[in-house]
């Protein structure tokens, strides 16, 4: 009887390994250090479809496609709002989209597999944009950030994406993510190095904070409130840093 050579076994392992790398390639590329937003036929079609309407809608508000973008998201209500900078650098609300699906409950993500969607301050650079996502289009918010790491929170590939299904991410409708993608790509193509994405459990009003004062997450939520207040007061995206394991909003220069 002919014996199987060791080479054949190793060749099979190599083939399986290559297949796994191919399947994981979109996720790997999504965090690769690249300067420009990569595109696919899917993302190009989305940009071509939405550019005329977005350009017109922005112009009606004295804004332009390609200006810097800021995204602010709340879990309750589940809404993502895009703000766009005007010619003076003041951010104005442009459009809001309902979050189609978000898993977990109010409160930050603590550990890989807890099915919680993150809360906190993140930013999205071109290399975090994934035009080949299994969930239509997606961008990696950059969890865990410095605060998360200081507090030993774990997790990976936390996204805002399409397809309206969530397992720890923020899922939009496909139309919604296409519009958001088009705004972000245009801003990056015109020089915005990263789009800030600030995620809150709810609008950080005094009434809401009081309503949740007995929650175990109340101290964490109070640490998020100054950034919400700073933006509402100045219409400029606050510079939030992590100092000694805590979020701190820096004074406006």
Active site residues per annotation: 161, 169
Residue 226 CA, chain-centre distance (Å), reads: 20
DSSP per-residue string spanning 26-57: HHHHHTS--SS----HHHHHHHHHHHHHHHHH
Omega before 77 within 30 of 0, i.e. cis: yes
CA-to-CA distance for 52 and 65, rounded, in angstroms?
10
Instruction: Show the tokens assigned to 146.
Output: 């410095």
* Spatial distance between the Cα atoms of 201 and 203, rounded to a whole number of angstroms: 7
What residues have CB less than 8 Å from 167, skipping those under 6 apart? 103, 115
Helix 41-60 and helix 174-189: axis angle, to 10°? Answer: 80
């Amino acid at each position: 009887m002919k014996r199987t050579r060791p080479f054949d076994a190793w060749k099979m392992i190599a083939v399986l390994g290559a297949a796994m790398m191919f399947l994981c390639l979109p996720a790997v590329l999504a965090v690769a250090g690249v300067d420009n937003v990569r595109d696919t036929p899917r993302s190009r079609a989305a940009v071509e479809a939405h550019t005329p309407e977005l350009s017109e809608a922005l112009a009606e508000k004295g804004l332009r496609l390609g200006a810097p973008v800021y995204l602010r998201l709340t879990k309750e209500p589940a809404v993502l709002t895009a703000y766009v900078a005007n010619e003076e650098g003041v951010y104005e609300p442009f459009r809001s989209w309902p979050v189609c699906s978000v898993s977990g409950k109010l409160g930050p993500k603590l550990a890989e597999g807890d099915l919680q969607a993150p809360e906190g301050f993140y930013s999205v650079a071109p290399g975090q944009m994934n035009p080949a996502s299994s969930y239509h289009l997606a961008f990696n918010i950059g969890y865990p950030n410095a605060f998360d790491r200081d507090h030993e929170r774990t997790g990976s590939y936390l996204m805002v994406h399409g397809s309206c299904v969530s397992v720890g991410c923020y899922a939009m409708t496909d139309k919604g993510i296409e519009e958001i993608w088009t705004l972000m790509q245009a801003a990056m193509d015109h020089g915005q190095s990263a789009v800030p994405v600030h995620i809150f459990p709810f609008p950080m009003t005094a009434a809401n904070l009081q309503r949740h004062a007995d929650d175990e997450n109340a101290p964490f939520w109070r640490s998020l409130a100054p950034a919400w207040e700073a933006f509402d007061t100045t219409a400029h995206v606050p510079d939030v840093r992590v100092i000694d394991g805590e979020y701190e909003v820096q004074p406006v220069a």
